[in-house]
Amino acid sequence: MGDYRRIADRIAEDIAGGRLKPGQRLPPQRVFARRRGIAPSTAGRVYGELVRRGLVVGEVGRGTFVRAAPDGPAGRALVEAGETGGSGGSGGIGGPVNLELNYPSAPGQPELLAPVLAPLLRPDVLAEALLPAAATGTAQAREAAAGLLATPGWRPGPERLLFTGNARQAIAAVLASLVRPGGRVGVEQLTYPLVKEIAARLGITLVPLAGDAAGLLPEAVAAAHRTAPLSALYVQPTLHNPTSLTTSGPRLAELARVLRDLDLPVVEDRIWSFLHEPGVPLAAHAPSLTHVVDGLSKRVAPGLTVGFLVVPPHRVGAVAHAVRSGGWGAGRFALEAAVRWAAEGTVARLVAAKRADAERRQRILAEELAGFAVRSDPHAYFAWWELPAPWRADTFTAAAAAHGIAVTPGPAFAVAPGHTPDAVRLGLASAPEPDLRRALRTLAHVAARRAGDRSGP
């Protein structure tokens, strides 16, 4: 039924028109349902639709709060009216800055990519490039991907390579092949938000597992498995999103030992690993259990991408079937482009440029948020900001939106409903560097002012 969408449209209009302000709390769903004369289930769908559109943020035990879109009329009106200013004269930053998006782009990237694509536009080459692609791709694609993913001490066999449209589809395909509806998958307590969406669509229960400064705790995996068997584990050992933590070598080896003892399959997400110093992946420690997920969206560009899967030899058929049945296969044109970019050294040049870019942006972060509790890595394109009291993730996100800055609230990454960290993730990749610096400076001023420090920039 579309009735709930029409109700959501009216709420969205109130937010856009400024009748509902950033940070304002919506009534509890049962109260909303009674006032509107609708079923509680319909009210739940309305609130869910508003969350999906990015207009509100909900936290268990706290409520649902307006989170005005930074590029919407409400956000612009606040800036134009001067309502975003505070002591110290920070005010608006001259235009919306989205620190939720995190798509790195190296200087001169189009000029690097275009020459390699040109030969694909020849009619004879294009005719073949537009044919359907199998999940196993082509022999050239498998060799190119194996070389691209190799690290010192580990190189995947080309026969273990499969391809999807992007890394998200790769995660979905692996989980669909490993876990039946109702099954349990262990994950870090904070995890990639789209894994939560994938799990919900597949009918999978995510089990949050504790970690420490060295990474996921192997004993937490074993304890959860004893409570009720896990079907698989999903982890991000390198530049974990959102915390930027990279699991230590000894911890990886210990985790692999526990996985082997439990005979527990694992999905190793390495989408950000290209930014980090090459290390031995979990797949090298437990090759018969590990399914590696990677892709080109961060290395190259999000608009023309390929997802990579490295799977244990005995699981190639099952995962390929999941790719086909889910409609998650890669496009042949994208595969052909990826092969050429890899062979010509374009991907390697982009990786080098993006590593340098990430390091520059981390220096900006360190300068502008000095003195705050920010967890990050010098090589990462994101940071985890543990907010000073009395800020909560929801109210700070709304305050940032009122200044034309979009950030991702910490609860978006939390798996357990009661675990709502008062933190935000800052994506550093997409905004131009001057805009990034101004946005971080503004956020620092907002955080310090509310926390009682009026000496902001």
Residue 148 pLDDT: 94
User: Which uninterrupted H or E stretch holds 8?
Assistant: helix 3-16
Residue 431 DSSP class: S
74 lies in some domain: yes
| pLDDT tens profile 325-364 | 999 999 889 898 999 999 999 999 999 999 999 999 999 9
* Beta-bridge partners for 310: 161, 292
Query: Are 167 and 269 part of one and the same domain?
Result: yes
Q: How many residues does the chain have?
A: 457
The two tokens of residue 272 are 């950000």
Report how far residue 156's alpha carbon sits from residue 142's, in angstroms, rounded to the nearest whole number. 10
Domain span including residue 13: 1-67
CB 122 within 8 A of CB 128: no
CB 271 within 8 A of CB 225: no
CB-count exposure of residue 388 (10 Å: 0-12, 13-18, 19+):
middle
Ramachandran bin of 251, using left for φ above 0, alpha for ψ from -120 to 50, beta for the remaining angles: alpha
Query: Are 330 and 370 part of one and the same domain?
Result: no
From 23, 49, 67, give the residue that closes a domain.
Answer: 67
Query: Are 388 and 455 part of one and the same domain?
Result: yes
Query: Are 181 and 93 part of one and the same domain?
Result: no
From 309, 344, 379, give the residue that closes a domain.
Answer: 344
The two tokens of residue 398 are 């709304």
Residue 456 pLDDT: 36
Query: Are 1 and 20 part of one and the same domain?
Result: yes
Report how far residue 373's alpha carbon sits from residue 451's, in angstroms, rounded to the nearest whole number. 13
What is the side-by-side strand order in the sheet with 56-59?
25-26, 63-66, 56-59
Amino acid at 186: G
Q: Which residues of the chain have pLDDT under 70?
A: 1-2, 58-62, 67-95, 450-457
126 lies in some domain: no
98 lies in some domain: yes
- We report the CATH number of the domain holding residue 8 as 1.10.10.10
Residue 50 DSSP class: H
Closest C-alpha among 79, 57, 40 to residue 411: 57
Query: Are 404 and 288 part of one and the same domain?
Result: no
112 lies in some domain: yes
Query: Are 234 and 145 part of one and the same domain?
Result: yes
What is the domain count for the chain? Answer: 3
Quote the radius of gyration of the chain (alpha carbons, Å): 23
Residue 75 pLDDT: 39
Query: Are 208 and 329 part of one and the same domain?
Result: yes
Q: pTM here?
A: 0.80
Query: Are 62 and 100 part of one and the same domain?
Result: no
125 lies in some domain: no
b/e per residue 236-266 (b: at least 16 CB within 10 A): bbbbbbbbbbbbeeebbebbbebbeebebbb
- Find all residues with CB under 8 Å of 1, minimum gap 6, and list them: none
Three-state DSSP class for residue 355: helix
DSSP annotation string for 212-262: ETTEE-HHHHHHHHHHS--SEEEE--SS-TTT-----HHHHHHHHHHHHHH
* Beta-bridge partners for 66: 56
Query: Are 278 and 359 part of one and the same domain?
Result: no
Report how far residue 210's alpha carbon sits from residue 216's, in angstroms, rounded to the nearest whole number. 6
455 lies in some domain: yes
User: What does residue 171 show for φ and ψ, rounded to 5 degrees?
Assistant: -60, -45
Residue 318 pLDDT: 98
Report how far residue 251's alpha carbon sits from residue 327's, in angstroms, rounded to the nearest whole number. 36
| pLDDT tens profile 257-297 | 999 999 999 999 999 999 998 889 999 999 999 999 999 99
From 67, 95, 111, give the residue that closes a domain.
Answer: 67
| pLDDT tens profile 56-109 | 876 555 678 886 444 443 333 333 323 333 333 334 455 689 999 899 988 888
- We report the CATH number of the domain holding residue 402 as 3.90.1150.10
408 lies in some domain: yes
Alpha helices of 327-450 — where are they, by DSSP H? 332-343, 346-368, 393-402, 433-450
Three-state helix/strand/coil letters over 56-121:
EEEECCCEEEECCCCCCHHHHHHHHCCCCCCCCCCCCCCCCEECCCCCCCCCCHHHHHHHHHHHHH
The two tokens of residue 251 are 């911890």
Residue 451 pLDDT: 53
User: Half-sphere exposure of residue 263, counting CA atoms within 13 Å on the CB side?
Assistant: 0
Residue 85 pLDDT: 35
- We report the CATH number of the domain holding residue 269 as 3.40.640.10
The two tokens of residue 358 are 């990430």
Residue 444 pLDDT: 97
205 lies in some domain: yes
Q: Which residue has the tokens 């010098």?
A: 378
